Structure 1
Amino acid sequence: MATQLIASHRDNAEIYHGQHLCKQKYRDLLDEISLPKGLLPLDDVVEVGFNRASGFVWLKQNKRKEHRFNAIRCTVSYESEITAFVENRRMRKVSGVKSKELFFWVTISDIFIDDSDAAKITFANPSGISRSFPVSAFELKEEDQQEEEEE
């Protein structure tokens, strides 16, 4: 389904290829929409696309990746194709991202920072259940910031 959605938004989209450029572009996009740059800790992204007219963004990686956010003790799985509609401080209709809660994987469909509390980022699933965490838990680690500055 993600592949079909990507195909339908490909016209007039900014599309980038190559791991180095893609990493820079998706981090720039997160910064542009005021979400923490460490929200998507991906290493092998080979394509990033952004259709500004519709707000649709996609990332393609070589393989699925799991990442543990130690600050909040949470493991997140990122599929090989991740899609979302973005706007300021929000990613809607997210696909390809799951969080492990106890022994179950929970689909994440919305990620946002509410205007009433800019220090918290909220993750919601399709049924409307949500959980909030400190934004600081998703900031780039010191070594990632140094790497970004060197590029």
Structure 2
Amino acid sequence: MASHVTENPKEGAEIHHGSSECKKHLIQILKENSLPTGLLPFGDDDVLELGYNRKVGYLWLNQKKKRKHFFPKIGRWIEYDEKVTAYLESHRMRRISGVSAKEFMLTLGAGEMYVDDPVEGKVHVKTNIGLSRVFPASAFQIDEEEEK
């Protein structure tokens, strides 16, 4: 059986502008999909637009500039491009673009990510070339104060 492919995944999406509005909605979207709320961190004035099409699970995030974020619990810098996109479903992000990390002196893009059930488990990240790593989900969780 063939699946229906949406020509424009942005069609019918909810779109938000401004960092505080985008941050609030991003946290809500990640929670709805049982994903750690700190997976896509950004600064207070960095985000220009956040869009999410609930029907197909397409998420996009436009930032002013490329930025790096250090996750101290895993000891890694993750780089986020000006545009980050992914398809979300429960406990999973697929077809991720705009997110990369250095591994073995190579910059590797994250292609897919899933979380064990419950969210307190492990985050499994698979690169576009098939390498994978497992991290504690708590490394990507933001606390209640940061969510506000």
Partner residue of 1:72 out of 74, 83, 93 = 74
**Is the counterpart of residue 93 in structure 1 residue 90 in structure 2?**
no
1:36 is aligned with what amino acid? P
Structure 2 residue aligned with 1:20: 20
Q: What secondary structure is seen at the aligned counterpart in 2 of 1:39?
A: coil
Structure 2 residue aligned with 1:146: 145
Structure 2 residue aligned with 1:4: none
In the alignment, the residues of structure 2 paired with residue 53 and residue 40 of structure 1 have an alpha-carbon distance, to the nearest angstrom, of 21
The superposition leaves residues 104-148 of structure 1 with CA deviations (integer Å, 9 ceiling, x where unpaired) of 2111000111349951101101222210001111111x5xx3243
After TM superposition, list the pairs within 5 Å mapping 1:99-118 onto structure 2: 99-115=101-117
In the alignment, the residues of structure 2 paired with residue 137 and residue 126 of structure 1 have an alpha-carbon distance, to the nearest angstrom, of 22
Contact 2:86 2:93 in 1 (8 A): yes
TM-aligned CA distance change 1:11 to 1:57, over 3 Å: same
In the alignment, the residues of structure 1 paired with residue 137 and residue 49 of structure 2 have an alpha-carbon distance, to the nearest angstrom, of 26
Unaligned runs of 5+ in 1: 1-6
Contact 2:119 2:137 in 1 (8 A): no
Higher helix fraction: Structure 1 or Structure 2? 1
In the alignment, the residues of structure 1 paired with residue 133 and residue 48 of structure 2 have an alpha-carbon distance, to the nearest angstrom, of 30
Once superposed, which parts of structure 1, at least 4 consecutive aligned residues long, lie more than 2 Å away?
114-118
| TM-score, length basis structure 1 | 0.86
Q: What secondary structure is seen at the aligned counterpart in 1 of 2:42?
A: coil
| Root mean square deviation, CA, Å | 1.8
Unaligned runs of 5+ in 2: 1-6
Aligned-residue identity in percent: 39
In the alignment, the residues of structure 2 paired with residue 93 and residue 63 of structure 1 have an alpha-carbon distance, to the nearest angstrom, of 21
Q: What secondary structure is seen at the aligned counterpart in 1 of 2:8?
A: helix
Partner residue of 2:134 out of 124, 132, 135 = 132
TM-aligned CA distance change 1:30 to 1:116, over 3 Å: closer
Q: What secondary structure is seen at the aligned counterpart in 2 of 1:68?
A: strand
| TM-score, length basis structure 2 | 0.87
